[in-house]
Copies of this chain bind each other. A is one copy, B any other.
Amino acid sequence: MKPTLSLILFFFQLNLFAQSALVRQVRNYRIDHEHQLLDEFMGLVSIPNIVGDAEGIRQTGKYIMEMMEARGIKASKLEGITPGIPPVIYGEVLVPGAKKTITFYAHYDGQPVNARQWAEGIEPFKSVFLNASLENRGKIIPRPSGDQTINPEWRIYGRSTSDDKAGVFVILTAYEVLKKLGGTPSVNLKFFFEGEEEAGSPHLAEILEKHQDKLQSDLWIICDGPVHQSGLKQVVFGVRGDVNMQVTVLGSKRPLHSGHYGNWAPNPAMNLIKLLASMKDDEGKVLIKGFYDDVIPLTAVEKKAMEAVPSVEDQLKEELAFIKADGDGRSLVELIQLPSLNINGMASANVGKLSANVIPTYATANLDLRLVLGNDAQKQIQKVIEHIKSQEYYVTEKEVTDEERRTYPRIAVVTYGQGYNAQRTRMDLPIAQDVIRAVRSTTGEQVVLMPTLGGSLPLFLFEKYLHTPTITVPIANHDNNQHAENENIRIQNLWNGIETYVGLMKM
């Protein structure tokens, strides 16, 4: 029985600070007010907030300011230098005698949507209830009426339900509940809600720089991303960086009949395929020269934390219904500590019913490069471009002229974003230990300590412009379809999130 005993001891050790009386109070308050809480959340998720849609973003920001004012927080907009950019929605609560200031970050913009790809009856901005996830054969159910018990396993579907309106809602609701219970935060609070995270936060730097003085604090807590796939709460000390590129390979100037010219005219779809196939081996290892150089390895403390992360591979494979993962048998958490190259989308001519017997004129792929500590976004892009050139491609960013088409045997139009680098906060900082303790106080279970999240946020900017560390405390369910069609949030995750953030405000 020894393994079981040591497991119990292990859990005991992790839960030195078990659930507090405050958490029980928060839970009871929430149970009494959950319809009212959900009404406000659904109001928020019903406003279209696609990144770059100025009007939708404006409306969403307005709603959040109203939420803040209703809580007695004076809300304001932090503009940058560039005119017309989506403002940060900002507010603060100063607590007499507090020795620390914590800034709570979430973003209120959402990923683009292709409504046709969403399941029948589910629209990106209608906040539809399902009695389980689609993958578990969940069915659409009516919005619960006021006297109906809300099953916490139900889900709300819609763009940004998880990423990241849930973050905005949970932060503001944690403060509200704490206040309604007659409590006060133990730290000064600042609220910072960004409006163009999904575009890669192109103006965050200028906003941080411009409002440097106002934004001073001891720590930024980022509410974005999912809890651990095991369902356990997690505290995340770093994020991967991210940069996107688009590669378009050109063929003939006009589309050709695949009978009359097929064997002779170059097929750009096949050429793109050959090019992309040369970038990775069959196990998913990137073959681009120097791709894994520059990586700063984990510290001993981080390595130890990583080894304590529960294994989720079998559970995920069951849930996602596949049996062969990339990465040659290594664990998900281990692989996430490395830079990645992924195809996000690919298109050439038409498939399915619209497919015709043609040789396409071009083929396009959108690539996503994730970066870890040590990588530089633009350097990583250049490695890919050098690889494309090594495959005998002429690479240009501009529209291609006929002259160029008649000069180079292979042409790739490559465009890319600015992207941003990874960030990692040391787990052994005293304030990091405070955060770990606070989150542990809100749960009876293990809290996963994750050196680096797979996803990305431009957290390096907070270090660069404010010299302040960041720690991410996510709340969404891991199977939330973030960034894709059928995004959703499990209601229990909202409830857990409120408890977690109350804990953080009392840390």
Does A32 have its Cβ within 8 Å of any Cβ on chain B? no
Please tell me if the beta carbons of A406 and B323 are within 8 angstroms of each other in the complex.
yes
Whole-angstrom distance between the Cβ of A111 and the nearest chain B Cβ: 5
Please tell me if the beta carbons of A335 and B269 are within 8 angstroms of each other in the complex.
no
CB closest chain-B residue, reference A163: B257
Q: Which of A240, A319, A343 has the most chain B CB atoms closer than 10 A to its own CB? A: A343
Please tell me if the beta carbons of A405 and B324 are within 8 angstroms of each other in the complex.
no
Please tell me if the beta carbons of B358 and A484 are within 8 angstroms of each other in the complex.
yes
Whole-angstrom distance between the Cβ of A346 and the nearest chain B Cβ: 4
Does A342 have its Cβ within 8 Å of any Cβ on chain B? yes
Does A153 have its Cβ within 8 Å of any Cβ on chain B? no
Instruction: Map CB proximity to B onto A265-297 as digits: 1 under 8 Å, 0 otherwise.
Output: 111011001101100101010000000000000
Does A368 have its Cβ within 8 Å of any Cβ on chain B? yes
Q: Looking at the complex, which of A100-108, A140-148, A181-189, A452-460 is the stretch in contact with chain B?
A: A452-460
Does A355 have its Cβ within 8 Å of any Cβ on chain B? yes
Does A354 have its Cβ within 8 Å of any Cβ on chain B? yes
Please tell me if the beta carbons of A343 and B264 are within 8 angstroms of each other in the complex.
no
Please tell me if the beta carbons of B254 and A320 are within 8 angstroms of each other in the complex.
yes
Which residues on the B side are within 8 Å of A405 (C-beta)?
Answer: 321-323
How many chain copies does the complex carry? 2
Given contacts A251-B322, A254-B320, contact A262 B347 (CB under 8 A): no
Which residues on the B side are within 8 Å of A260 (C-beta)?
Answer: 225-226, 336, 453-455, 478, 482
Does A366 have its Cβ within 8 Å of any Cβ on chain B? yes
Query: In the assembly, what is the distance between CA of A253 and CA of B133, in Å?
Result: 12
Does A493 have its Cβ within 8 Å of any Cβ on chain B? no
Q: Looking at the complex, which of A19-27, A325-333, A373-381 is the stretch in contact with chain B?
A: A325-333
Query: In the assembly, what is the distance between CA of A181 and CA of B160, in Å?
Result: 73
Given contacts A274-B277, A346-B269, A349-B346, contact A263 B284 (CB under 8 A): yes
Which residues does A use to contact B, with CB under 8 Å? 111-112, 114, 134-135, 225-226, 240, 242, 244, 246, 250-267, 269-270, 273-274, 276-277, 280, 282, 284, 313, 317-327, 332, 335-336, 338, 340, 342-360, 363-366, 368, 370, 402, 405-410, 453-456, 478-479, 481-486
Contacts A246-B355, A262-B368, A265-B320 given; 14 further ones with Cβ under 8 A? A112-B350, A240-B259, A242-B259, A251-B322, A253-B319, A255-B485, A263-B327, A263-B336, A266-B325, A266-B326, A270-B342, A277-B277, A351-B364, A357-B483
Q: Which A-B residue pairs are the 6 nearest by beta carbons?
A: A255-B484, A259-B455, A324-B409, A321-B405, A260-B454, A277-B277
